[in-house]
């Protein structure tokens, strides 16, 4: 965890995203953890991490996990994710041993 934190602090968007994902897995996060989660998630998204853009947009759209509900800002992050690539699959990852693919068509449905 120490090296992940250092990589995030040094601007690695994958590490920033991973820190946010690990923090959100915790149940009943205290306010300081929620603030750190948001910091790393928005930093990764602003540094071009497509998964973070989509994750941030989802949280903003629903107001989950301590995020202030903001459909307008959620739409901005969804649009950034769509603009980041022309691929039909915007983002692939593995979470808890499951492979997840986020399709362009799913994100388009969320904003149009």
What pLDDT does 22 receive?
Answer: 86
Cα-Cα-Cα-Cα dihedral sign, residues 46, 40, 59, 89: positive
What pLDDT does 103 receive?
Answer: 95
Instruction: Return the DSSP state at 69.
Output: P
What pLDDT does 87 receive?
Answer: 92
What pLDDT does 27 receive?
Answer: 64
- Phi and psi angles of residue 61, each rounded to the nearest 5 degrees, phi first: -65, -35
Phi-psi region of 99 (alpha: psi -120 to 50; beta: other; left: phi over 0): beta
Domain boundaries, the chain: 2-85
> For the chain, which ranges sit under pLDDT 70?
26-29
What pLDDT does 70 receive?
Answer: 96
What pLDDT does 95 receive?
Answer: 76
Kindly state the tokens that stand for 104. Answer: 């362009």
């Amino acid at each position: 965890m120490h090296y992940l934190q250092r990589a995030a602090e040094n601007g690695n968007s994958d590490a920033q995203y991973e820190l946010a994902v690990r923090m959100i897995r915790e149940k009943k996060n205290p306010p300081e953890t929620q603030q750190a989660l948001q910091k790393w998630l928005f930093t990764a998204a602003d540094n071009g991490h497509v998964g973070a853009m989509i994750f941030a947009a989802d949280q903003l759209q629903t107001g989950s996990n301590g995020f202030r509900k903001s459909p307008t800002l959620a739409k901005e992050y969804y649009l950034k994710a769509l603009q980041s690539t022309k691929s039909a699959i915007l983002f692939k990852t593995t979470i808890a041993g499951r492979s997840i693919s986020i399709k362009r068509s799913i994100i388009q449905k969320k904003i149009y």
